[in-house]
Amino acid sequence: MRRAGRHFLQIPGPTNVPDRILRAIDQPTIDHRGPAFRELALRVLAGLQRIFRTRHPVIVFPASGTGAWEAALVNTLSPGDRVLMYETGHFATLWYEMAKRLGLDPLFLESDWRSGVDPERIEQALRQDRQARIRAVCVVHNETSTGVTSRIPEVRQAIDRVGHPALFMVDTISSLASMPYEHDGWGVDVTVGGSQKGLMLPPGLSFTAVSPRALEAHRQARCARSYFDWSAMLEANARGFFPYTPATNLLFGLDAAIRMLEEEGLERVFARHARHAAATRAAVAAWGLETVCRHPAEHSASLTAVLLPEGFDADALRAHILERFDVSLGNGLGRLAGRAFRIGHLGDFNDPMLMGTLCAVEMGMREFGVPLAASGVVAAMERLSASR
């Protein structure tokens, strides 16, 4: 049976793709070796540099964000290389497992899935690495499974305090173009991104921003690679082309997305995300529930993960909300499965979309019997009205 009205895609990505981007994708595919493509490619590659805040290359793969994880590792490392990773949650864990699968030797700092990277533990681990065996520190900026954001500049400072030569790699899949991020300014060597979150595109593009140090490491790195190899990319990109067929129509969309973000202004985009996140947390607090994120300084601006009281099945609640209100929420992942749900408030989003979402969550929880202290919706409205 047809469902009337617009679906609310409030998972923390893929996000609601704006019509303008969908329509840009919906244009005839062009010759990826012709002059029109060249113009597009050069414009998009330059635009990505502004989004990542870097003067160095950003490489685009026709792949999901997961592909950019792989690209970051295989382009800079050799089999058996030790990398330092940090268990901020499900996605950090997946990246760690990928590193193992790719023949690396990751050291995984365990954590509680409710806090961000602790810069002191990074510092400590690097200090213990007397022979500088660790070749890379890999952390997730915004852990999509928990709604916790790590303080990347402080991690950089921790590395610098030790003077450790490891590369610094950061996954910004669910933070890029939603929260402030500075590839060059924060001293990151490889930044990993994807198309389907703050960039408001469908999934299918992934990015690695690459520092000069990362490129140097690339030249020595012996991990087998071909599809995700940077060299052929950089060489072809310099002329506005790609070494193999790019995902042309998604690049049409990316071109539109960059223009839209810059029309709004990145600072305004970040402020908008922060404001919606604050309103969502006001709702959670009013309901008398807890966010997965423990530390006020680490709340994500792009999603909020909410813990249900003992005895409630978060997946059953999500199914109920989807069925009754046509609102998709993110599930609890890994050790949060069944215990938490995630509200995505990133990408192309505004106040009535947020309120429609929060109303659906509130109605859903009440219908499901979750005891609520007060109306989170009322609290969120107050929070929104208090700011612009």
Shortest separation between residue 293's beta carbon and its own copies, angstroms: 22
- Is the Cβ of residue 125 or residue 340 nearer to its own copies in the bound state? 340
Shortest separation between residue 228's beta carbon and its own copies, angstroms: 7
- Is the Cβ of residue 43 or residue 294 nearer to its own copies in the bound state? 43
Shortest separation between residue 281's beta carbon and its own copies, angstroms: 17
Shortest separation between residue 202's beta carbon and its own copies, angstroms: 4
- Is the Cβ of residue 250 or residue 301 nearer to its own copies in the bound state? 250
Shortest separation between residue 255's beta carbon and its own copies, angstroms: 14
Query: Three-state SS string across the chain, please?
Result: CCCCCCCEEECCCCCCCCHHHHHHHCCCCCCCCCHHHHHHHHHHHHHHHHHHCCCCCEEEEECCHHHHHHHHHHHHCCCCCEEEEECCCHHHHHHHHHHHHCCCEEEEECCCCCCCCCHHHHHHHHHHCCCCCEEEEEEECEECCCCEECCHHHHHHHHHHHCCCCEEEEECCCCCCCCCCCCCCCCCCEEEEECCCCCCCCCCEEEEEECHHHHHHHHHCCCCCCCCCHHHHHHHHHCCCCCCCCCHHHHHHHHHHHHHHHHHCHHHHHHHHHHHHHHHHHHHHHHCCEECCCCHHHECCCEEEEECCCCCCHHHHHHHHHHHHCEEEEECCHHHCCCEEEEECCCCCCHHHHHHHHHHHHHHHHHCCCCCCCCHHHHHHHHHHCCC
Shortest separation between residue 177's beta carbon and its own copies, angstroms: 11
Q: How is residue 156 written in tokens?
A: 């950089």
- Is the Cβ of residue 62 or residue 187 nearer to its own copies in the bound state? 62
Shortest separation between residue 33's beta carbon and its own copies, angstroms: 7
User: How many C-beta neighbours within 10 Å does residue 80 have?
Assistant: 12
- Is the Cβ of residue 112 or residue 262 nearer to its own copies in the bound state? 262
- Is the Cβ of residue 2 or residue 130 nearer to its own copies in the bound state? 2
Shortest separation between residue 381's beta carbon and its own copies, angstroms: 5
- Is the Cβ of residue 71 or residue 308 nearer to its own copies in the bound state? 71
Give the separation between CA 160 and CA 7, rounded to whole angstroms: 47
Q: What does DSSP say about strands 190-194 and 167-171: parallel, antiparallel, or unpaired?
A: parallel
- Is the Cβ of residue 16 or residue 157 nearer to its own copies in the bound state? 16
